[in-house]
Structure 1
Amino acid sequence: MNRVIINADDFGIHTEVNQAVIEACGQGVLTSTSLLANGPAFDQAVDLVRKCPKLGIGIHLSLVGSLPTVLSAKEVPTLVQSDGLLPESYTEVIKRACQGKLDYGQVYREFDAQMEKIMATGLPIDHLDSHQHLHVLPQIWSIVQSLMMKYGIHRLRIPREAYSYKVLSANPVRIAGRDGLTYLSRKAMTSVRRLHFTTTDFFWGMVDGGHMTESNLHYLIDRLPFGTHEIMMHPGRSTAVLSQSFAWGYHWQDEFQALLSPEIRRQLEAKQIELITYGDLP
């Protein structure tokens, strides 16, 4: 039997996302979410998730997204822009790293503060991942390993989507990004095994990131190989409202509806797929 984690990223980023996550857990097929310590709607997310005890909860580390830092901007100047916020995209983080302008000590301290803030809620944390998957960049990955051991977290996302998936049909830019991410993720697996961390056999949601619609989700479920899987989702109750704050081109509302779809639930049942959380992994 295939075992599948369906995870919603960006919990805490906006009230529209928070409400969608809770509804998709209670009424749909969502099993897990990842919480942003620096999300503007963090406090609401923490309050809401206490009402959904079956939902797995992870830490969603962030160095991007035009979000504030948990530490003051003055404490982490190499991580922020002139407005005191984190850069919009991973490309700026990589650029600073290549130019020697990224202080990894500041990365450690900010990530430590994010993890400490979430752990202090007392919520049962079962995994770790990151905004735009920056935790698998080599220098950042070493920091994340240390912090996972510090906080006793041993399950995490390693976003190694299969090179062959939608290779001829997806956006070429997405394919290139996916392939680079998968390459770094496969290198990270050496440390995962050495440190006895746990991840799923497969990860999905990179080429369909932000538009895991019902049709895309149906297509994926129909082709899952045997093993444990994580499917990454970005649900939100209103794309129109969220697009006013985040110019990412995501189809939040469509992803939300996919999670509520009776057809998706029937497909999962017909294929005898067990829905799980990271906490169900060994």
Structure 2
Amino acid sequence: MMHGKLGIRYELDKGSIQQEHVEYEIINQFNRYKELTNGQLPKHIDGHQHIHVHPMIVESVARLAKQFGINYIRVPYDQMVITWNANNLFHNEIVNQTKEAMKIFNKYALLYCDYFFGMTTMGKEFTLNNIEKCLKILENESKKNLLIELMCHPGYPSDPLVGGCGIGQPDAFSQSIERQHEFDILSS
């Protein structure tokens, strides 16, 4: 059963989803990926809506990633959330869960980027000015050759009659004009 972005977190928090079911789903997704790619495994893992950093999932994801030989994982620790999006409870929850998840990822020697940006620059907030603000925090970084991930969702809005993401018909995200905006910024 699909619970949605917040529903899955609620069900995990109240303990109604069993750990063995989580692991079963992860293994099945890895195996399905292999089927679709002639035996290849993904190079990295990231969970839809960052579910892979949830405390009830993170240990299983990390252990199974290592078991399957997947060494890279997304770490959505967007430091800009703390200053720009302090009132966005969902983004703050993700950042806080990510801080804890990083300890587990380190335990399993999973690799991840040095900096992650994107939660504060989605949609209409995806501007050159905002991207420059994110990059500005790197000015005092002493490490050379930083690995930086900029999360974005460029694309064309789905036609409600043709298809896209969602069950039955495209969801609001698939139809959002903000995807076109991100595409236009990236290709400018």
Q: Secondary structure at the match of 1:203?
A: strand
- Find the aligned partners of 1:96 and 1:166 in 2 and give their Cα distance: 26
TM-score by length of 1: 0.54
- Counterpart in the other structure of 2:148: 229
- Counterpart in the other structure of 2:182: 255
- Find the aligned partners of 1:202 and 1:147 in 2 and give their Cα distance: 24
Does the aligned pair in 2 maintain the 1:239–1:250 contact within 8 Å?
no
Cα distance, 1:251–1:198 mapped onto 2, change above 3 Å:
same
* TM-superposition CA deviations, 1:155-184 (whole Å, max 9, x none): 11111111x55725x4822xx322221111
- Counterpart in the other structure of 2:108: 195
2:12 is equivalent to residue 105 of structure 1: no
* TM-superposition CA deviations, 1:201-235 (whole Å, max 9, x none): 11111123344534355434652514321110111
* TM-superposition CA deviations, 1:123-182 (whole Å, max 9, x none): 5632110100010111201110122022100111111111x55725x4822xx3222211
- Find the aligned partners of 2:34 and 2:133 in 1 and give their Cα distance: 33
Residue 199 of structure 1: CA displacement? Answer: 0.4
Give ranges in structure 1 of 5+ residues lacking alignment: 1-79, 81-85, 262-282
Does the aligned pair in 2 maintain the 1:239–1:253 contact within 8 Å?
no
CA-atom RMSD, angstroms? Answer: 2.6
Is the helix fraction higher in 1 or 2? Answer: 2
Tell me how many residue pairs correspond in the alignment.
Answer: 172
Question: Which residue of the other structure, out of 71, 85, 95, is the alignment partner of 1:154?
Answer: 71
Q: Secondary structure at the match of 2:44?
A: strand
- Counterpart in the other structure of 2:30: 115
Give ranges in structure 2 of 5+ residues lacking alignment: none
- Counterpart in the other structure of 1:129: 46
Cα distance, 1:259–1:104 mapped onto 2, change above 3 Å:
same
